[in-house]
Structure 1
Amino acid sequence: MIESCTVIELASVLAGPSVGQFFAELGATVIKVENPRTQGDVTRRWTLPHETPPDDRSAYFCCCNYGKQSVALDLRTERGQDVLHTLVTEADIVIANYRPGQAAALGADADTLRDLNPALLYGHITGYGPDNPRPGYDAVIQAESGFMAMNGSADGPPTKMPVALMDVLAAHHLKEALLVGLLRRTQTGQGAYVPVSLMQAAVSGLANQATNYLNTDHVPQRMGSAHPNIAPYGTAYATADTPVVLAVGTDRQFAALCDVLGRPALAKEERFATNAARVQHRAALDNVLRPRLAEQSADALLNALHQRGVPAGAVRVLPAVFNDPHAAAMTLGTGDAAHPAGLRQTMPGAVEDVAQEMGPPPHFGADTTSVLQANGYARGAIDALEKEGVIQIA
């Protein structure tokens, strides 16, 4: 719980805002600084073809902007930079996703802000590192980091994953780094510059695929959802009604699967008796399993497998996912009956209590006046800033 922590979010889209929302979940005050020249975070306008949001909060924007305050502030003006510097002097963390070189022109770079507040933690998300000016976009990072080359069916083209996973990975890296930075600051009193790149996060996320290559020179090929080291693991099998996925990680689990399918002798065959043998004879194993699984009712099959401790599950579409009580417990409404509910993954225990109390995603510039007043600006000064176009008040 970090209710006394103040976070200034100078970030847009997904990775940076996800980090800001994480700190809001922990109870921090999160001030999202948005550009009035663009009417704020671009994801406010990233709508689905059939989506007609009643205000400036698209469903996409809602996924990572709960619990924040929005300040519309033009950092291309000297007066706007002065306002930012006032906010930063009382802040604990800044989250930015400027390309290298951009932040300095806005008076929002780590050196400038940490000179004003040496205890400040400056979390900086880039595409390729703080010295590379290339913009970072998830789809491109998925391609360049090897994920797309591995993803898709063996006879199909490389495929992007349907979630911006590189952004999500980078956000998790920055959350961890900033929490460590806060801990270190309690010991030293010093802040830090904390850089994280989408490419670094992606490469680190290659996990066993990377070590398979680095240690054995194995270049992963597209193989659908199958696992290169385990079988049967990850492949979707048709049943009489709903597809299922098996995640058989041990020989004991495989023997139990064979018992449930009425083919116990399979587990004793030399080509299937061990995981290494099953990986080697993957195609033959699939040819044996598919017709047996196709005869089964998914519910009956899964119940039998679960009783025997065999990891398996149905392939669900999202309506079924959110009928699950676990997913339902992770869903927060916006608090606005006229606006569709937004999804948030919360954490257990006390942190979940804080998350449930978070306000809805903010309207653009909704908190400009209150935040400036809380930081010592008189009403007349705020009116003057609005007249000059430095700020925008919703």
Structure 2
Amino acid sequence: MSPSPQHGTGPLDGVVVADFTRVLAGPYCTMLLADMGATVIKVEGPGGDDSRTWVPPSFHGESTYYLSVNRNKHSVVLDLTDPEDLATAHEIVAGADVFIENFKPGGLQRFGLDPDSVAERWPALIHASITGFGMDGGRSLPGYDLLVQGVSGFMSVTGSPDGPPQRAGVAMFDVITGLHAAVAVLGALHERATSGQGQHIHLDLLSCALSGLVNQTTGYAACGNVPTRLGNDHPSLYPYGPFPTADKDLIITVGNDAQFRRFVDVLGLPDLADDPRFATMEQRNEHRDTLRPVLVEALTREPSETWTDRLRAVGVPCAPILTIAEGVDYAASLGLDPVVPTGTGERVVPTIKNPAAFSRTPVRYDKAPPELGADREAVTSWLRRRRADRANDVARRATHEKNPSRKDPS
């Protein structure tokens, strides 16, 4: 597939993205844009994206970490310290609608790709910078997701009350930042359609983490509440979490008083709904230590599958705790088709589908995550065509200026 814009392949058909990101937050953002039809040129240093080496696991010798966030892109290797490669990098940026990078603040200044230089040289370009801790006070701090999980407060509310703080099982704030970045880019593209002007967008992992902690951080900002670890309990809802049954844990999520009444009816404990200690959500939260053993005693009489059938029949949300494999298979059983083959011919990689489903302009999966530098020739050809088009434009303008009454042949 040529790196020139493809037609009819998604809602971002015709948009070109110069992707100077690596690892997770930036690549996840640019993959989402590529899925929606944008032409994404992934510029990698001579060593390639760090995540290419992050194994196990691997698929045919390639890191599945890298494969998870780099489909539908075109890889070209450039050494920005080499004058010729730097000129090529500038050409790629010049031909793009969006320039996305996650270099350390100030790291691109010597290459003329810092925000001020970009704004001056390419005023219509949308430039998105992703950092770990901002471009000012935290500019020297390395932007690793686990560091952000620690300093944001996330780990302080994750884990058992009597255990140590816990990290999430995935780099969740990288992913959240990638999502925020994609939304911000779409907003800037929409605004540019009216103004004709580009702008600089900056996102940092810590700010995205604090935003992503929603009720926990707002509880502190609004009323000084400092939450603590509750294990699998919810600070504002009860019962809400996994409960033991006769064979294994079952997640039960009661979100309102009506659901609680139906829940205890199924358990054979209808009087609990009228007990003043448990009648409202606030009261159930206050008396959860008293309520829990009563619920557990009832639930452990029957296996989880029995309770699942009974609770779902009356509209009480519940679900088992599955492995990743079981979770993917469960989605498939619901007809969600979570695994999609990406690529054509000899290079086809199984990936997890983009969750957005468009009725008219569907996302695409036609290019597997590229091998390092695999698209250099295609990108070079695209740049040559752009140079030729610019030369023709200059010639036409010159002809028109000499003969203003002559019709433009285009």
TM-score, scaled relative to structure 1: 0.89
Deviates more, 1:80-89 or 1:235-244: 235-244
Letter in 2 for 1:293: L
Q: Distance in 1 between matches of 2:246 and 2:376?
A: 57
What residue is the counterpart of 1:203 in the other structure? 210
What residue is the counterpart of 2:384 in the other structure? 376
What residue is the counterpart of 1:302 in the other structure? 308
Counterparts of 1:115-126 in structure 2, within 5 Å, are 115-126=120-131
What residue is the counterpart of 1:383 in the other structure? none
Q: Distance in 1 between matches of 2:244 and 2:81?
A: 57
* Residue of 14, 19, 22 corresponding to 1:12: 22
Aligned residues: 371
- Give the C-alpha shift of residue 52 in structure 1: 4.8
What residue is the counterpart of 2:375 in the other structure? 367
What residue is the counterpart of 1:312 in the other structure? 318
1:61 paired to 2:50: no
- Give the C-alpha shift of residue 217 in structure 1: 2.6
- Give the C-alpha shift of residue 343 in structure 1: 2.3
1:107 paired to 2:112: yes
Q: Distance in 1 between matches of 2:323 and 2:106?
A: 43
Residues 340 and 187 from structure 1, CA distance in 2 versus in 1: closer, same or farther, beyond 3 angstroms? closer
Q: Distance in 2 between matches of 1:123 and 1:156?
A: 39
1:76 paired to 2:81: yes
Q: Distance in 2 between matches of 1:340 and 1:31?
A: 19
Deviates more, 1:243-252 or 1:7-16: 243-252
* Residue of 129, 135, 152 corresponding to 1:130: 135
Tell me if the contact between 1:240 and 1:298 (Cα under 8 Å) persists in the aligned partners.
Answer: yes
Deviations along 1:42-80, one digit per CA (max 9) or x if unpaired, are 1011012xx35434x311011110100000111112211
Identity between Structure 1 and Structure 2 (%): 35
1:150 paired to 2:160: no
Tell me if the contact between 2:36 and 2:362 (Cα under 8 Å) persists in the aligned partners.
Answer: no
Q: Distance in 1 between matches of 2:379 and 2:252?
A: 52
Letter in 2 for 1:156: G
Q: Distance in 2 between matches of 1:333 and 1:178?
A: 27
Q: Distance in 2 between matches of 1:173 and 1:214?
A: 21
Where structure 2 has 5 or more consecutive residues not aligned to the other structure, the ranges are: 1-10, 387-410
Counterparts of 1:1-394 in structure 2, within 5 Å, are 1-36=11-46, 38=47, 40-48=48-56, 51-55=57-61, 57-131=62-136, 132-233=139-240, 235-324=241-330, 325=332, 326=334, 329-335=337-343, 341-350=350-359, 353-355=362-364, 357-376=365-384
Deviates more, 1:290-299 or 1:219-228: 290-299
Letter in 1 for 2:41: I
Letter in 2 for 1:74: D
Where does structure 1 differ by over 3 angstroms across 4 or more consecutive aligned residues?
Answer: 334-340, 350-353
Tell me if the contact between 1:15 and 1:171 (Cα under 8 Å) persists in the aligned partners.
Answer: yes
Deviations along 1:241-280, one digit per CA (max 9) or x if unpaired, are 3321111110000000001111111111111111111000
Which protein has the larger Cα radius of gyration, Structure 1 or Structure 2? 2
What residue is the counterpart of 2:408 in the other structure? none
Residues 125 and 52 from structure 1, CA distance in 2 versus in 1: closer, same or farther, beyond 3 angstroms? closer
Where structure 1 has 5 or more consecutive residues not aligned to the other structure, the ranges are: 379-394
Letter in 2 for 1:221: T
- Give the C-alpha shift of residue 128 in structure 1: 0.9
Q: Distance in 1 between matches of 2:347 and 2:279?
A: 58
- Give the C-alpha shift of residue 345 in structure 1: 3.1
Q: Distance in 2 between matches of 1:54 and 1:108?
A: 36
Residues 338 and 33 from structure 1, CA distance in 2 versus in 1: closer, same or farther, beyond 3 angstroms? closer
SS, match of residue 341 in structure 1: strand
Residues 224 and 352 from structure 1, CA distance in 2 versus in 1: closer, same or farther, beyond 3 angstroms? farther
TM-score, scaled relative to structure 2: 0.86
- Give the C-alpha shift of residue 283 in structure 1: 1.0
Letter in 2 for 1:9: D
Letter in 2 for 1:153: S
